Chains A and B, each alone.
Chain A
Amino acid sequence: MATSVSFPVPGPGPAPVVGTAGLSAPVQASLWSDAWRRLRRNRMALISAVYLVILVAVALVALVHTPYSYREVGVARPYSGPSWANWLGADILGRDVLSRLMVGAQISLIVGVGTQVFVVAVGVPIGLLAGYYKGTVDSVVSFIINVFYGIPDLLVAMILLLLLGPSLNNIIIAIVATRWMDMTRLVRGQTLALREREFIEAARSSGAKPAKILFGHILPNSLGPIIVQATFGVPAAILFEAFLSFLGIGVQPPTPSWGSMAADGLAAIRIAPHMVIAPSIALSLTLMAFNFLGDGLRDALDPRQKR
């Protein structure tokens, strides 16, 4: 605003800036480096990132090596507690808890990251289309989103698994089917806000095709919020899988999942508490790490909208 006397005048003002929206390409570069600088200052986010790197490393190592086979029965006395041979003790069948935990990390990461890949693949295009074309498309999409928000996701996923049969793929399908809305809603909102901005108007009036505008302009400018949303989506999906496996309708034995390990442990809570404590802590730490990282990313990518 230029000069002197100014006071609130009712009527349409400049549209509120949403997310990292509306920065042209050169500014974007500094945006990312700014974000990186802010993220590095966030101690909790940093610690979480380190933890997650270690977790991924453990999951990768488990592909080629675990202390024992996760399915080998009787490597130790059943229910025996932590020892030098079995750092986290053994379970009901005398299987090594640490080895099972490592394989469980694979499951959690596959489910967490895998669902978000599909959620992005489904949610982003639908959100872009709904936000860009508005009107009927948007009404239909918004209606469907609201219907899905109204249903108890876990219960529907349970029924889906009953229909599809339990397997890792079907678990991912069930989670994506019940949890695709957050991303779609976010991208739709971003698109709605961005499509009114000058640089999009400019692109439109210079004859750019919708596809070019959507994927060349709107998508890159929504990347920050999408990343944040996906980061929060990972722990939600991991938790979801743990719930399903805890109830016995997720990952099927002998494949270990942190959820099913916790369920096994709960049954033996009096005699072998380590069986339930180990997966519970692994799960909580992992969820926490993703949530702290998500918080950090959000604050870093959008410093104005604090918490």
Chain B
Amino acid sequence: MLNRGTLIYISQRLVLIVFTVFAVSSVVFLGIHRLPGDALFNEHLHGTQYQLLLHHYGLDRPLWDQYTSFLTGLFLHGNLGESLVNRGVPITPLVLRELTVSAEVGLFALLFTIGLGMLLGVVAAIRQNTWVDYLLSTTSVIGYSMPSFVIATFLLLFFAVWLDNFTQGTFYFQIGWTGRFGTIGEIWLPAFALGFPYASIVARLTRASMLEVIRQDYIRTARAKGLRETVIMARHALRNALIPVITILGPLVIGIITGGVIIENIFGIPGLGKEFANSILNRDYNIVIGVFTMYAAMVGLANLGVDLLYVVIDPRIRY
């Protein structure tokens, strides 16, 4: 599987990702630094203190100068600079730590989305045109019409408010974030809220692709061989039905990243998304740039992962 062609392909893609990161961070950096006023504008500082701070962040230098030192910092030392609001906090370790948190929630959401989505899709396809199918196709519209924050809200209402009220507080559901990594109890609600809308989409797609696959000739061949129906579905149908489903993994990852911005805020998860929203609200431009750069790299890597997954699932695809 990992032959020479694939390795060359991977390295090309990695170069492309580095280039994307460069382009994206440049656009954001230059865009933000052309804003009227400067980053400390809001704080109504005056005199030497202001001058000192400007100098500390290099904001008194020409834009081009700032830009080149930003780039050398980023690409040579992996240094994204310092937070403008929480002075003295270096950004790189901050976003790296937040990345692990976001990735943890995101991966759970992804697993959940794909697992539930495919399960429902397969059931709907096998039971095509029965009540199960109609129920699933109707609920899937409801599913992807529920914004993740609405789902999160209802989960909170149910688990944190009503459950607590009805049991007089003897039973309550721990919501929050205690350590660096979340516990299963802390993670599954946010992951559910994050993944549910997409699970509906995966279910629809799986259903369509299963229906397409089960009328293929090779399924008839498998039956003619005398294979059991469960084997035919699991081994012959599902694997082929996966191929179109992989196509939406890219958009799915992006959806989970963007959804994370909201879900992390609601559930108080100290991840990249929460940081990004806060930094935009606080106008902490250095963090905006840093987090966005991180996002660009993540999206690039996720798409590369998806493309490699094709190779694993479909032997006809080689790079």
Contacts and interface: CB of A to CB of B under 8 A. Distances in A.
A273 to B, nearest CB: 6
A280 interface: yes
A159 B147 contact: no
Contacts of A291: 141, 144-145
A155 interface: yes
B280 A158 contact: yes
Contacts of B254: 150-153
Interface residues of B, number: 44
A269 B161 CA distance: 8
| A interface majority secondary structure | helix
B281 interface: yes
Nearest to B256: A152
B157 to A, nearest CB: 6
A155 B262 contact: no
Nearest to A44: B138
Contacts of A105: none
B109 to A, nearest CB: 15
A288 B141 contact: yes
| B interface majority secondary structure | helix
A266 interface: yes
Q: Interface residues of A toward B: which range?
A: 35 or more
Interface in A271-292: 273, 276-277, 280, 283-284, 287-288, 291-292
Contacts of B53: none
12 contacts: A150-B250, A159-B32, A162-B288, A239-B147, A243-B149, A243-B261, A247-B261, A248-B281, A249-B277, A262-B150, A265-B153, A277-B153
9 nearest interchain CB pairs?
A154-B258, A288-B145, A287-B145, A280-B150, A152-B254, A152-B258, A247-B277, A291-B141, A291-B145
Given A246-B262, A249-B281, 16 more contacts: A44-B141, A149-B250, A150-B250, A150-B254, A150-B303, A151-B254, A154-B261, A158-B276, A159-B32, A162-B283, A247-B280, A262-B149, A266-B149, A269-B160, A284-B142, A284-B150
